Structure 1
């Protein structure tokens, strides 16, 4: 191996690390270090004025698994994710297919679909609070026209979480639609022409050609929807604050409550570690099981 080859190899390695360094610094500062620090903090006890924090190993995780509120919140989040993720993705796909078709007023339709996405979370929460308010809310006014009584949508354990799910679906469907709309516009028009020549119906073309080609986008949206399902907190502050009786409390609100309402940062750290572990496992399964069926050459 000549000296010139060694120098060229070293230069390429240096150039590669220089290109990677901005991303590496950002990830280390805002992802890797906070994750490691959170994991380390979960092994210590809660610090008070009279008793300093002590290393207690996995006791925080044991206390967490013995807490019925944690399991209640975990069940709420599973139901919330199981409802909002598939409905939001399906609705986004339908809206994208419609907005991509040759119809009059297509630009207005796209704008109307995307408008909820650009609204701030707090503004969206206050808007839906106007819908859900008993007696004077829009929903009660509409139901009153058909003879139905008033309903406290956010104040009943049976309906509070479902009301939050509706807000999330309304807020996220337009955001996911943008990705589907961009993917639809990359599909070659020759495929539609070939399908028309073969006499394929619109449904057959959509099912056999469009949906398989949209699978990479669907996987991307699915991962984002999964992450979004565990980071909802803004709407809960405005609409329910996790009540009544923890019926609408989700995991991120529970972590915030542990850390800033009960000042139990180690328990909040333990809960965060569990959430990160579950998200990592689910994302790995999604990519491992679906990646081979997603990309088409």
Structure 2
């Protein structure tokens, strides 16, 4: 026979657990699950107006996107943008953290200098770099003029516009990622360094064989955040290029905003949003089921 007191205790524990989960579940339902479902439903309807109300069209909006050359151009831009900003930002952040964690003079000043770009709003950072990129008057052209180089319209040429956006992003994000690496480095026991010194390991060997493996969970966390940022940062595009010239620097989130609020085509914008969520969901699943276990040596 089951113990009624044990059943009552299990029931109380279950109620207590659900009460703890309910605030997070409510917020996720209101601000994540419901908007996602509403966006999915909206993506299956046509664009309507007063004379022709929207109608259910299934997956036609997705087919239109796949047939749109601008969509594929934006996808290529975003893949290139992510492929450059993610590894370069992580490498620079790790290098800065290793240096800022070492015993150097004015270590506090170095850490503050590295972190300063992070506290600037992206709009302010974009305006600052707009001054750097301005043809003829900008800092880059002024420096180039000292060496006899011609003026370059960094933001007005398809060949350089996206690279200019990438540089701003790396400059802005590397300091932010450095903070996570710096915190992780300070959790590594000093005993490991002493043991490596006793064994005669060089500084590079200690970093490669001990520090970097221990930093892998932090690297994975930073990588996931960098991937999310690569599809959500559009503030600097409004200031610097507005996706131009000739869509050369247009990224997927800016294209979604443009489709929804400039062209008033909410269904296609909803379809693009769902594709982004699908890709991010697949990346998160790969991270959770495959990479995370290897990273934590489970």
In structure 1, runs of 5+ residues without a counterpart are: none
Residue 254 of structure 1 deviates from its aligned partner by 0.1
The 5-angstrom pairing of residues 234-273 of structure 1 reads: 234-273=235-274
The 5-angstrom pairing of residues 99-138 of structure 1 reads: 99-138=100-139
Q: Equivalents in 1 of 2:230, 2:252: separation in Å? A: 9
The 5-angstrom pairing of residues 1-297 of structure 1 reads: 1-296=2-297
Q: Equivalents in 2 of 1:296, 1:43: separation in Å? A: 43
Find the residue that maps to 1:124 and give its secondary structure.
helix
Task: State how many pairs are aligned.
Answer: 297
Q: Equivalents in 2 of 1:183, 1:100: separation in Å? A: 10
Q: Is the 8 A contact 1:213 1:296 kept in 2?
A: no
Find the residue that maps to 1:50 and give its secondary structure.
coil
Q: Equivalents in 2 of 1:196, 1:5: separation in Å? A: 56
Q: Which moved more, 1:76-85 or 1:287-296?
A: 287-296
Q: Equivalents in 1 of 2:191, 2:297: separation in Å? A: 17
Q: Equivalents in 1 of 2:4, 2:290: separation in Å? A: 46
Residue 286 of structure 1 deviates from its aligned partner by 2.9
In structure 2, runs of 5+ residues without a counterpart are: none
Residue 268 of structure 1 deviates from its aligned partner by 0.2
Q: Equivalents in 2 of 1:33, 1:255: separation in Å? A: 19
Q: Equivalents in 1 of 2:294, 2:199: separation in Å? A: 25
Q: Equivalents in 2 of 1:2, 1:193: separation in Å? A: 56
Q: Which moved more, 1:3-12 or 1:106-115?
A: 3-12
Per-residue CA distance 1:6-49 (angstroms, 9 max, x = gap): 21111000000000011101111111111111111100001112
Q: Equivalents in 1 of 2:256, 2:62: separation in Å? A: 14
Q: Equivalents in 2 of 1:292, 1:197: separation in Å? A: 32
Per-residue CA distance 1:92-120 (angstroms, 9 max, x = gap): 00000000000010000000000000001
Quote the RMSD (CA, aligned, Å): 0.8
Q: Equivalents in 2 of 1:36, 1:109: separation in Å? A: 46
Residue 280 of structure 1 deviates from its aligned partner by 1.0
Residue 284 of structure 1 deviates from its aligned partner by 1.7
Find the residue that maps to 1:263 and give its secondary structure.
coil
